[in-house]
């Protein structure tokens, strides 16, 4: 049986109106330093978002969410932050913000397959 190692995760949230404290879960970030894994999956429900904020600029929101995915993957087109180490990128992605795109507090778990855990958490917390 493979060894289950610790990982950290945070839920990506779209907060259409910060003053109302309402949000829609839009993705998950998973980080397992011992398994050298950092991944983000985005799955935005436009219907849920429009229920809270009918005038949402979905294109702009998707662009910002895609930037999270690019930074986590270390993509060439992910900008300066995407060039940092896995740990630096995770902590940058999960730092508190007061903008429209926020993340939950960081939580922990154990897994031997962080990519599969990313899928499971996305299905459970976002879908």
Give residue-wise pLDDT tens across range 58-87. 999 999 999 999 999 999 999 999 999 999
Residue ranges of the domains in the chain?
5-125
Look up residue 82 and give its DSSP letter. G
Q: Which two tokens stand for residue 40?
A: 């983000």
What residue spans of the chain are helical by DSSP H?
Answer: 46-52, 58-73, 86-93, 114-125
* Confidence (pLDDT) at 98: 79
pTM of the model: 0.94
Give residue-wise pLDDT tens across range 6-18. 999 999 999 988 8
Q: CB–CB of 7/114 below 8 Å?
A: yes
Buried b (16+ CB within 10 A) or exposed e, 12-50: bbbbbeeeeeebbbbbbbbbbeebebbbbbbebeeeebe
């Amino acid at each position: 049986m493979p060894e289950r190692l610790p990982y950290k995760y945070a839920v990506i949230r779209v907060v259409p109106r910060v003053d109302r404290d309402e949000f829609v879960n839009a993705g998950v970030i998973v980080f397992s330093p011992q398994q050298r894994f950092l991944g983000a999956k985005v799955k935005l429900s436009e219907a849920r978002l429009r229920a809270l904020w009918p005038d949402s600029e979905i294109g702009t929101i998707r662009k910002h969410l895609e930037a999270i995915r690019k930074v986590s993957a270390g993509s060439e087109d992910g900008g300066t932050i995407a060039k940092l180490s896995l740990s630096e990128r995770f902590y940058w992605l999960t730092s508190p913000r007061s903008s429209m795109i926020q993340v939950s507090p960081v939580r922990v778990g154990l897994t031997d397959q962080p990519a599969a855990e990313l899928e499971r958490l996305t299905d459970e917390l976002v879908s």
